[in-house]
Amino acid sequence: MTERVDRLVRTWIASEQEQEVEEAASEIAKGNATLLDLVKSLGEYLTAEEDDLRTKGVEFLSLVIAKCPPEKLNRQSVRVLTAFYCGKLEDTETIIPALKGLVTLTKLPAFTSTDAVEVIRAIFANVKMKVLIQSQRFTVFTVVDNLVARYREALKALGDEFLHAYINLADGEKDPRNLMLAFAIDRVLLIEFDVQKHIEDLFNITFCYFPITFRPPPNDPYGISAEDLKAALRGTLHANPAFGPLAIPLFLEKLTAGSPVTKKDTLDTLDICLPVYGPVVARENARKLWNCLKLEIFQPTDNVTEEKALKTTQVLIQTIYSAEEGTKSDNAEIEGLAKDACDECMQILREPEKSQAQHAIKVLCAFMSTTPSVARFTLARAVPHLVKLFLNPDELPNRAPTLRLLSDLIEASRKSTAHDPEILPEEGNVPLSPYKDEVLGVLTVGLKTPASALPAIDGLKSMTQTTGLLTDEELGFVVHNVNDILQRDEDESEISDATLDLLCTISTFAPSHVAGNTLPLLFTALPDKAPPREAETDRLRYWRTLAYLKKLCTQSDLFETLVVRLSTKLDLICIPSTSSDDQSADDLEPSAAYAHSILKTLADVLSAKIEQGDADVVKYIDRLVPRLYNLFIYSALFADSKDMPATDPRLLAVVAQIITLITQTLTTVRQETFVVAVFSAYLNGNTSQLAQGIQKIPVDKTFAPLQANAPTAQKNLVVLFSAAVVALHKEVSLPVPDERALLDNLLQWTVGPAENALQREAVIHLISAILNRHAEKLDVFVSVDITDFWKTQIADATIPVDSRRRAILTFTWVTKALLVRGHPTAMSNVDRLFELFDDEIVNWDAARAIGRIPGPDKILTKRNHAVTRILYAQKYCNAVLPRIVEGAKASQSTRQNAFLVALAALIRSVPKSTYTDQMASLIPLLLRGLELPDNEIRASVIDTLQAAAASSGKDNSLLAEHAASLVSTMLKNSLVVQMPSVRVRVSALRYLATLPDVVRYDVLHPQKATVVRELAKVLDDPKRAVRKEAVEAR
Q: Please spell the DSSP secondary structure of 11-25, one letter per residue.
A: HHHHH--HHHHHHHH
Contact predicate 770/791, CB 8 Å: no
pLDDT band, residue 225 (cuts 50/70/90) = confident
Distance CA 810, CA 789 (A): 10
Contact predicate 507/468, CB 8 Å: no
Instruction: Please check the confidence at residue 769 and state whether its pLDDT lies above 60.
Output: yes
70-79, 106-115, 911-920 — which is least confidently predicted?
Answer: 911-920
30-34, 66-70, 119-123, 250-254 — which is least confidently predicted?
Answer: 30-34
User: For residue 426, what pLDDT is reported?
Assistant: 55
User: For residue 583, what pLDDT is reported?
Assistant: 44
80-84, 284-288, 301-305, 888-892 — which is least confidently predicted?
Answer: 888-892
Amino acid type, 647: T
Task: Read off the pLDDT of residues 718-735 as tens digits, 9 standing for 90 and up.
Answer: 999 999 999 999 999 999
User: Cα angle at 383 between 478 and 449, to 5 degrees?
Assistant: 45
Instruction: Please check the confidence at residue 958 and state whether its pLDDT lies above 80.
Output: no
User: For residue 1033, what pLDDT is reported?
Assistant: 74
User: For residue 502, what pLDDT is reported?
Assistant: 94
CA 349 remoteness from chain centre: 39
pLDDT band, residue 621 (cuts 50/70/90) = very high
Distance CA 867, CA 816 (A): 12
User: For residue 952, what pLDDT is reported?
Assistant: 62
Q: How many CB atoms lie within 10 A of CB 241?
A: 16
Task: Read off the pLDDT of residues 537-557 as tens digits, 9 standing for 90 and up.
Answer: 899 999 999 999 999 999 999
Q: What is the mean pLDDT of residues 817-843?
A: 93
Amino acid type, 471: T
Burial class (CB in 10 A: 0-12, 13-18, 19+), 280: middle
Give the mean pLDDT of the chain: 89
Task: Read off the pLDDT of residues 962-979 as tens digits, 9 standing for 90 and up.
Answer: 888 888 888 888 888 888
Instruction: Please check the confidence at residue 868 and state whether its pLDDT lies above 90.
Output: yes
Distance CA 904, CA 167 (A): 75
Sign of dihedral through CA atoms 984, 987, 993, 994? negative
Contact predicate 706/683, CB 8 Å: yes
User: For residue 290, what pLDDT is reported?
Assistant: 95
Contact predicate 134/155, CB 8 Å: no
Helix (H) or strand (E) holding 757: helix 757-774
Q: What is the mean pLDDT of residues 303-322?
A: 94
Distance CA 997, CA 678 (A): 58
User: For residue 774, what pLDDT is reported?
Assistant: 94
Instruction: Please check the confidence at residue 129 and state whether its pLDDT lies above 50.
Output: yes
Of 235, 366, 353, 240, the closest CA to residue 312 belongs to 366
User: For residue 976, what pLDDT is reported?
Assistant: 83
Distance CA 17, CA 750 (A): 82
Task: Read off the pLDDT of residues 872-903 as tens digits, 9 standing for 90 and up.
Answer: 999 999 999 999 989 888 766 678 889 989 99
Q: Please spell the DSSP secondary structure of 235-283, one letter per residue.
A: HHHTS-GGGHHHHHHHHHHHHHH--HHHHHHHHHHHHHHHHHHHHHHHH
Q: What is the mean pLDDT of residues 830-858?
A: 92
Distance CA 1034, CA 1032 (A): 6
Q: Please spell the DSSP secondary structure of 117-155, one letter per residue.
A: HHHHHHHHHH--GGGS-HHHHHHHHHHHHHHHHH-HHHH
pLDDT band, residue 332 (cuts 50/70/90) = low
Q: What is the mean pLDDT of residues 601-621?
A: 95
User: For residue 732, what pLDDT is reported?
Assistant: 95
pLDDT band, residue 911 (cuts 50/70/90) = confident
User: For residue 243, what pLDDT is reported?
Assistant: 94
User: For residue 167, what pLDDT is reported?
Assistant: 93
User: For residue 317, what pLDDT is reported?
Assistant: 94
Task: Identify the residue with better confidence: 69 or 817.
Answer: 817
Distance CA 706, CA 714 (A): 8
Instruction: Please check the confidence at residue 331 and state whether its pLDDT lies above 60.
Output: no
Cis status, amide bond into 211, omega within 30 of 0: yes
Task: Read off the pLDDT of residues 926-954 as tens digits, 9 standing for 90 and up.
Answer: 888 888 888 888 888 888 888 777 766 56
Q: What is the mean pLDDT of residues 106-124?
A: 92
Amino acid type, 460: L
* 672 three-state secondary structure: helix
User: For residue 584, what pLDDT is reported?
Assistant: 45
User: For residue 326, what pLDDT is reported?
Assistant: 55
Task: Read off the pLDDT of residues 162-218 as tens digits, 9 standing for 90 and up.
Answer: 999 999 999 988 889 999 999 999 999 999 999 999 999 999 999 999 988 888 877
Instruction: Please check the confidence at residue 361 and state whether its pLDDT lies above 80.
Output: yes
For 815, phi then psi, to 5°, come to -65, -40
pLDDT band, residue 490 (cuts 50/70/90) = low
Instruction: Please check the confidence at residue 419 and state whether its pLDDT lies above 60.
Output: no
Distance CA 293, CA 109 (A): 52
Residue 841 to residues 146, 281, 751, 836, 905, Cα–Cα distance (Å): 86, 92, 18, 9, 18
Task: Read off the pLDDT of residues 375-408 as tens digits, 9 standing for 90 and up.
Answer: 999 999 999 999 999 998 888 889 999 999 999 9
Rounded to two decimals, the pTM is: 0.79
User: For residue 427, what pLDDT is reported?
Assistant: 47
